[in-house]
Structure 1
């Protein structure tokens, strides 16, 4: 399955604006070529590879070093950290980017209900490891969809998904599943519900998964998302 060419153009527009580039910068740069966005006031180094086109942003000294680096070297956190060590380089993470532009097939789960209560998102976070909670940032999303087992005396959240609108175009998604309910397809199910809602609102769903998180990538693909790129960032000391 591939993304529609019109969808790709909109994603390129959104990311061009996000990176402070001309609107057509990513669309008009050939696959395999690299754009350098240089600012001496930049406090981060960022490397993006999206639909084959590469963008490196940061100060001039960093751009000079990046010109001799491969995409693989710049994608790895260690590569950006090593080239910025004397400037206090501190990793902000490496993530894989997924997008979707087709409505998923979502069959209702008779034994579980979907709620939009932010309180249930907080309750779900309390059931999950702190690292997972921080990575998902679910309770902070603008639109929430919480899968609830309401067969109990007190409804229990088992999984949740949500999104916030970024750059006016993209629905930035996240998902969180309580540990006892993982590997049952519940994360993919509730993500599909959120995806459908975002697309109905005219948005393009975007999923960002840590590069080393195989489970998150699997959930994204299971929810109908297609991998399209990677992004790595490093913070510089002030």
Structure 2
């Protein structure tokens, strides 16, 4: 299989200030906040929905929002940003039964360079190929990439076998949330970066802003986002709540 082409000299700005409003709008809707809640003034936002099944803290471009059931939001409203985004404060505020803590870095792109491989790649959009790739990867990587929960899947094939997959799901009709999974024997070859850019271009062509939510403990995912040119612009932490 040919190696992806291109180099560092081809990198350019991949996210522009004019796209901030789209990202802010999408996250405001996801959190149940009024559309224009996020702004440049940096004030903390509180979103109360008693039907919420999770407690979420999000930092976008330096502004923090906290959303979840009213009593839990009020309990956590005055806690420091770092404690909330680190997740420990969310767990304490959520109380007994809270679980599935997630802390992640958010990156966005509205323009990415597409590096061309030396040979034409074979890319499948079929679900069986993506599912087969998951069986070849460690469970933690499969869970972090979340290929199965993303509707639009693109799988790179090599000698009839799947070796890498990039997939996205559309959030709030505005963001293409991207996940990437590479088979262990094919890592460190630039295939994840190539597929990330290939699928990002598909999403951008459909009019979406690309979003990557990379788990903070997943060094590989963070490096892949960086190599693809998707710069960090925020953080998110969440916990699932016990049945109420």
Q: TM-score w.r.t. structure 2 length?
A: 0.88
In structure 1, the residue matched to 2:136 is 127
CA contact (8 A) 1:46 1:232 kept: yes
In structure 2, the residue matched to 1:30 is 41
In the TM superposition, residue 12 of structure 1 has moved relative to its aligned partner by 0.6
In structure 1, the residue matched to 2:6 is none
Moved more, 96-105 or 135-144: 135-144
- Once the two structures are superposed, the pairs formed by residues 42-53 of structure 1 within 5 Å of their partners are 42-53=52-63
In structure 1, the residue matched to 2:153 is 144
In structure 2, the residue matched to 1:190 is 195
C-alpha spacing 1:41/1:159, structure 2 compared with 1 (3 Å): closer
In structure 2, the residue matched to 1:116 is 125
Unaligned stretches of 5+ in structure 2? 1-12
Deviations 1:115-174 (A, max 9, x none): 222221111111111221122221442222211113xxxx11111101111111111111
Matches of 1:143 and 1:42 in 2, distance apart? 27
Pairwise CA RMSD: 1.8
Aligned length: 231
CA contact (8 A) 2:32 2:49 kept: no
In structure 2, the residue matched to 1:215 is 220
CA contact (8 A) 1:77 1:91 kept: no
Q: Name the SS for the 2:35 alignment partner.
A: coil
2:75 to 62, 65, 78: 65
CA contact (8 A) 1:96 1:229 kept: yes
CA contact (8 A) 1:45 1:235 kept: yes
4+ runs deviating over 3 angstroms: 39-43
2:32 to 3, 17, 20: 20
Matches of 2:202 and 2:150 in 1, distance apart? 14
Q: Name the SS for the 2:211 alignment partner.
A: strand
Deviations 1:31-84 (A, max 9, x none): 2x2111123443321111111111111234333332331111001122211233
1:5 aligned to 2:17?
A: yes
1:232 aligned to 2:237?
A: yes
In the TM superposition, residue 225 of structure 1 has moved relative to its aligned partner by 1.0
In the TM superposition, residue 2 of structure 1 has moved relative to its aligned partner by 6.3
In structure 2, the residue matched to 1:171 is 176
CA contact (8 A) 1:81 1:91 kept: no
